[in-house]
Structure 1
Amino acid sequence: MMEEMYLDYVLVPAGLLVLGIYHIWLLFTIIRRPTTTVIGLNSFSRYQWVHHMMKEPGKNGVLAVQTIRNNLMASTLLATIAITLSSLISAVVSSSNNSLIFTIHTSKYFSVLVCFLIAFFCNMQSTRYYAHVSFLLNVPSYECEDRQEFIEYVAQQLNRACLFWSLGLRAFYFSFPLLLWIFGAIAMLGCSCLMAVLLYFLDTASSSPRFLHSRDLFENKNRIADIESAANSVRSIWSEDSSNLQCSLLEGTKPNSISDIVLPSGR
């Protein structure tokens, strides 16, 4: 019993430290080199998508709303799963232990409960922003005084929705090693290390287009504080027609230069 308690005091913080160090590295990578991460590339792609959809809202309105609706359904599903699991864990803990004494055993269930509650909150916020964006996408932006500023605002709201979506998924990922903590600290540490390795391959973008890695895009810039500002500065270099970018992201082709990305103006 004492050996198991010592393992909990040593191996569990070590597992949390592994996940913490990985996410700190990921945060600095997103800030400094966003195009080497999937999160950064998706942020840039969403900016292009919003500009393309709002260029002709009457023509692309249905497609835009259907896309947002799919994301709304996914966020609602994850929020439902999170609150259901939270209720089940609360029922199990309250039925098995009537006292309020905080022990290692109760802390295991409490930590998992916190992860699911955070996931529920993040997915509900994501649903909130998606619903807001679904209205903004069909607003005739040409009637606004500053059309470009309005489109930037819509893109910012969409990226915030996706940010909460990503945070909700991270909370689910964190719950895996905490669930295995119920079976022992060694299982928790092993799952934490395995999770960090898997997340590295899921978060990094090794096949991103070459022109996004060009230093010319980011030189003479005051270090951009977040992804949204980075996308705002990079967007002016991109061509208004993003079909070649989409092909390079989906098919794995890599344009050799920025001149290869600009397509003929005829549509």
Structure 2
Amino acid sequence: MEWKKCYLDVMLVPLGLLLYIGYHVWLRHKVCTQPFTTIIGINANSRRFWVPIMMKDIEKKNIVAVQSLRNLVMGSNLMATTSILLSAGLAAVVSSTYSVKKPLDDTVYGANHSELMVSLKYVTLLTIFLFSFFCHSQSIRFINLVCILVCTPQDDKSMFTAEYLTELLEKGFIMNTLGNRVFYSALPLLLWIFGPLLVFLCFLAMLPVLYNLDFVCGTGKPEMEMNGNGEYSV
């Protein structure tokens, strides 16, 4: 019976992860080829206009710009703090001499609570939370740079342009999105403690939820594609 439980872990958990990763590969393809059908593409296009507008009249809009960027930093800071706290908690559980698997034995069909499998579960979660923390910390770094540079007066000797700040802001948002999606992948894996079947079902349930959050339907806008100059055309 033990080997059958191990096979369930080997098959169902990687299959759920592959479905989750495959959805994001497809989402990336849609963002690159049909950006205005996705929330990510629409927001990225809007940010390309936001930075030049803020820099054009920064004397009057500096408070709006800094407060907007500060709100982004606070969101990333919250996720980074949550990730590192969960990582610390999991590290304490892994290093503890107390056997956490005993109260869970035979609670759900298919759950494998051998010492090796329990260690693998916690180490996987620990790695995911640490990577999420890294992404959010990099997002804070990029957005803080934009917050400082956007209020710098423009003159002929300026070493940066609106395009440079837009690129920094876009990197900050990309790292924030990546950190969030990695963090979301840890939620189904938390159920791995109770069995691989719950992990697979949770990944399946997440896909339609993420689709409704990522895609825009019936906007009434013409479809636009990117040309060779990096601009969008109908």
| Fold agreement, TM-score > 0.5 | yes
| Structure 2 residue 145 is matched with structure 1 residue 154 | no
State the distance in 2 between where 1:62 and 1:209 align. 34
Contact 2:34 2:224 in 1 (8 A): no
Q: Which amino acid aligns with 2:183?
A: F
Q: Which amino acid aligns with 1:57?
A: I
Contact 1:12 1:185 in 2 (8 A): yes
Residue 17 of structure 1: aligned partner: 18
1:50 shift after superposition: 0.9
Post-superposition Cα deviations, 1:206-233, rounded to whole Å, max 9, x if no partner, equal: 254614x246xx4xx23x8xxxxx4xx2
1:28-107 to 2 correspondences below 5 Å: 28-96=29-97, 103-107=116-120
TM-score scaled by structure 1? 0.76
Say which structure, 1 or 2, has more relative contact order (CA 8 Å, 6+ apart): 2
State the distance in 2 between where 1:118 and 1:96 align. 26
Contact 1:83 1:117 in 2 (8 A): yes
1:144 shift after superposition: 3.3
Q: Which amino acid aligns with 2:91?
A: S
Residue 191 of structure 1: aligned partner: 202
Residue 9 of structure 2: aligned partner: 8
| Structure 2 residue 156 is matched with structure 1 residue 167 | no
1:252-267 to 2 correspondences below 5 Å: none
State the distance in 2 between where 1:97 and 1:27 align. 43
1:169 shift after superposition: 0.3
Q: Which amino acid aligns with 1:200?
A: Y
Residue 120 of structure 1: aligned partner: 133
Residue 110 of structure 1: aligned partner: 123
State the distance in 1 between where 2:220 and 2:176 align. 25
Residue 144 of structure 1: aligned partner: 156
Contact 1:75 1:127 in 2 (8 A): yes
Residue 177 of structure 1: aligned partner: 188
Structure 1 gaps of 5+ residues are 225-229, 238-257, 259-267
Contact 2:36 2:224 in 1 (8 A): no
TM-score scaled by structure 2? 0.86
State the distance in 2 between where 1:22 and 1:97 align. 38
State the distance in 2 between where 1:80 and 1:214 align. 39
1:56 shift after superposition: 0.3
Contact 1:177 1:191 in 2 (8 A): yes
Contact 1:11 1:189 in 2 (8 A): yes
1:96 shift after superposition: 3.8
Q: Tell me, what secondary structure is at the counterpart of 1:206?
A: coil
Contact 1:118 1:168 in 2 (8 A): yes
State the distance in 2 between where 1:155 and 1:7 align. 46
Runs of 4+ in 1 over 4 A off after TM superposition: none
State the distance in 2 between where 1:102 and 1:88 align. 19
Identical aligned residues as a percent: 37
The count of aligned residue pairs is 219
Contact 2:12 2:196 in 1 (8 A): yes
Q: Which amino acid aligns with 1:110?
A: V
State the distance in 1 between where 2:91 and 2:81 align. 15
1:137 shift after superposition: 0.8
| Structure 2 residue 133 is matched with structure 1 residue 132 | no
State the distance in 2 between where 1:144 and 1:114 align. 47
Backbone CA RMSD of aligned residues: 2.3
State the distance in 2 between where 1:185 and 1:137 align. 48
Structure 2 gaps of 5+ residues are 100-113
